Amino acid sequence: MTTALITGSTAGIGAAFARRLSADGHNLVLVARDTKRLQEQATELHDRHGIEAEVLTADLATDDGIEAVATRLADRKNPVDLLVNNAGFGNKGRFLDVPMADELTMLKVHCEAVLRLTAAATEAMRERGRGGVVNVASVAAFVPRGTYGASKSWVVQFTQGAAKDLAGSGVRLMALCPGFVRTEFHQRAGMGTDNIPGWMWLDADKLVAAALGDLARGKSLSIPDPRYKALMGIVKVTPRGLLGGISSRTGRKYGPQ
């Protein structure tokens, strides 16, 4: 039986990955900051699907938290076959309105943690000749959206570059770029969602099913919904200056995840 490690597993997209992968018979390593929620999630998934669910409490905004997860990923005796780097958050406010400490924490979680955990996982996977990594980014990666969009753009570029470097090794890497998903993401960031049209909201479980299908097909980039694929097609041909104006009016308040 294979094992998947999911960061930010207790809510939103991470929880949807945990539900789907456990239903498919994968053992899990569940990573988040809240031990109580992790234990409740592990018990529920074990009782429902008969899988083993290991709990790892870690704050990926800290070196100790990142190192704890990296050490688990590097464990050759208890290998991880799939890593889902899902942990992330948004900051409410425009550039210079957000405290610098919060901006740096975002880079720590979205970029440094993703880099270090992907490296730890893929090194062990390459030795075995198999494995996969899903790095959760956002469609915000493709438009000017301050630190959040920049960090997610880094995730996309890093993941696709690493995927090319590891081609032929048996290790697959994919950047997942969802749009607006009904999760705790916006509530935790203190962001309002009333102005977001209903058609732009995605279901987390359907998103995960599409993402896992794209990973199985060997894609290095997944935009798992026809609506957002069409929107990103428009973005590609829209002048950057116009995109920046639209983003300054809406994007900072309502960052997709």
Compute CA 51 distance to the chain's CA centroid, rounded to the nearest angstrom.
23
Which of 142, 148, 158, 185 is flagged as catalytic? 148
With 0-12 / 13-18 / 19 or more C-beta atoms within 10 angstroms meaning exposed / middle / buried, residue 99 is exposed
Closest CA to 117 of 128, 101, 131: 131
Residue type, position 179, single letter: G
Torsion angle defined by CA atoms of residues 12, 180, 145 and 184, in that order, rounded to the nearest 10 degrees: -30
- 228 carries an active-site annotation: no
Tokens coding 149: 């969009």
Scanning the structure block, which residue is given the tokens 């960090």?
Answer: 151
Q: How far apart are CA 131 and CA 4, in angstroms?
A: 10
Question: Residue 171 in 3-state DSSP?
Answer: strand
- Residues forming the active site: 148
